[in-house]
Amino acid sequence: MDLNKWPRQTDVKNHELFDEQHFGTEAPCVLYEKRPVKDNKGNEVPGLYSAWIILNNPKQYNSYTTEMVKGVIAGCAKASADRSVVAVIFTAVGDKAFCTGGNTVEYAEYYSSNPSEYMQYMDLFNGMVDGLLDCKKPVICRVNGMRVAGGQEIGMACDIAIASDLAIFGQAGPRHGSAPVGGSTDFLHWNLSMENAMWNCVSCEMWSAYKMVNKGLISKAVPVLKVNGEFIRNPQVITDKFVENGEIVYGDPVTGEAAAKAKQLVKEAEVDFSLLDAEIEKLIWTFTNLFPNCLQMSIDMMRQKKKFFWDMNKLAYRHWLGTNMSSEAYLGFNAFSTKRLTGKDTIDFIKYRQLLAEAKPFDQELVDAVMAPRKE
């Protein structure tokens, strides 16, 4: 077979949609970096890279601002079109948080009571989830800390998750005035049982990385604390037994005096992500040794199930979330965002329910009755 029998163009086309305009260096921003693939002996492999999309807003627990959402979309598109990229690593700066969702200051001070603006924002947010689900490289979520609210949603849009064992996982929407319809209501039950997914989605309880490994949400929890040069597992979580008194306790928080001791130990210990990064390198190396197109076909077909409900619902979410910005989100995000002024990070839920039981309309009187007053 002579493939060059007919005329051929010999240039190499550029399929990139974005340049660098949506990436930055100063927080809040998204960082985009290419790092060499390393083989299983730690040697750099020439010409092959992983693309790192890094949320950089550590002071606000790596919550994503509107501009950062664009950065994630651009990062996914850039990595997709880059022939030298084997896999994408989606992570964040620091050791506290991967991401705690939308930026509550923007939500409170700009989007609340502005449905049309939030609907436009949701077009971007949905584009970010789609960007991750459509990325033409495997996407690994390197969970460097808490993965909460929209952070949990974009984390679950990734293909595989490996976490620091200090990470916690959960939702915040029903507590702060939103519904976890940025992916969680569509993805959670693929990984957890429906019963567990329901509770994790609505209760706003935070579950440890070890509990999430056991329940199937993530692949691995990796120790990151070092005491006297030795790695220790997160002492705040039970990891040395599975059952106590007939109950599964693996991954539950330690309590009482042990909890106070553990908290102190975490404060004093050195944080070292080298084991976590070694796990990430291993995954990248595994992907590197597979046929790229067969790998991507397999991933895309696995993703298709996640996309099924998400694609069916995402437009309706956009409209509902916009409208909700005029009512419960107005209350919830303003309560969270003004917690330093009032000393309270949620509304008075009982008062709110009592007023709704009296068929009270959403007016200034209701707002004043349920929001904590400014501290003297």
- Say whether residue 102 binds ligand LSA72ZH7 (CB under 6 A): yes
CA angle at 230 for the pair 227 and 231, rounded to the nearest 5°:
90
Q: Between residue 139 and residue 158, which ones bind ligand LSA72ZH7 under the rule CB under 6 A?
A: 146, 148-150
105 touching ligand LSA72ZH7, by CB under 6 A:
yes
Alpha carbon distances (Å) from 107 to 102, 334, 363: 7, 8, 19
Query: Which residues between 40 and 69 bind ligand LSA72ZH7 (CB under 6 A)?
Result: 60-61, 63
Strand partners, 82: none
**In the complex with ligand LSA72ZH7, which residue's Cβ is closer, 100 or 288?**
100
Please list every residue from 250 through 309 that binds ligand LSA72ZH7, using CB under 6 A. Answer: none
Q: Which residues contact 213 (CB under 8 A, 6 or more apart)?
A: 219, 220, 221, 251
* Residues 335, 347 contacting (CB under 8 angstroms): yes
Please tell me whether residue 211 binds ligand LSA72ZH7 under the rule CB under 6 A: no
Q: What is the CA radius of gyration of the chain?
A: 22
Does 79 help bind ligand LSA72ZH7 (rule: CB under 6 A)?
A: no
Eight-class DSSP state of 239: -
Q: How far is the CB of 241 from ligand LSA72ZH7 (least distance, A)?
A: 27
Min dist. Cβ of residue 291 to ligand LSA72ZH7 (A): 35
- Coil vs helix vs strand at 206: coil
Task: Work out how close the CB of 27 gets to ligand LSA72ZH7 at its nearest, in angstroms, rounded to a whole number.
Answer: 12
Q: Is 369 in the site for ligand LSA72ZH7 (CB under 6 A)?
A: no
**Within a 13 Å sphere around the CA of 278, how many CA atoms are in the beta-carbon half?**
11
Other CB atoms within 10 A of residue 186 CB: 24
Number of chain positions touching ligand LSA72ZH7 (CB under 6 A)? 22
Selected from 50, 80, 91, 100, the binder of ligand LSA72ZH7 by CB under 6 A is: 100
Q: Is 210 in the site for ligand LSA72ZH7 (CB under 6 A)?
A: no
Q: Tell me the residue number closest to ligand LSA72ZH7, measured at CB.
A: 101
Q: Which is nearer to ligand LSA72ZH7, 50 or 338 (CB)?
A: 338
Does 322 participate in binding ligand LSA72ZH7 (rule CB under 6 A)? no
Q: Which one, of 289, 296, 204, 210, lies nearest residue 251 by Cα?
A: 210
How near is the Cβ of 322 to ligand LSA72ZH7 at its closest, in Å?
A: 10
Alpha-carbon gap, residue 335 to 347, rounded angstroms: 6
- Please say whether the beta carbons of 54 and 92 come within 8 A: yes
Instruction: Decide: 71 and 22 in contact? Cβ < 8 Å.
Output: yes
Q: Could you give the residue ranges of the DSSP H alpha helices within the chain? A: 66-81, 104-106, 115-134, 150-156, 173-176, 184-191, 194-203, 209-215, 256-268, 274-288, 292-324, 328-337, 339-342, 349-357, 364-370
Q: Does 103 bind ligand LSA72ZH7 (CB under 6 A)?
A: yes
| Nearer CB in complex with ligand LSA72ZH7: 146/283 | 146
- Please identify which residue in 22, 147, 176, 303 interacts with ligand LSA72ZH7, judged by CB under 6 A: 176
Shortest Cβ 187–ligand LSA72ZH7 spacing (Å): 13
Interface residue list for ligand LSA72ZH7 (CB under 6 A): 60-61, 63, 100-105, 125, 146, 148-150, 172-173, 176, 178, 182, 321, 336, 340
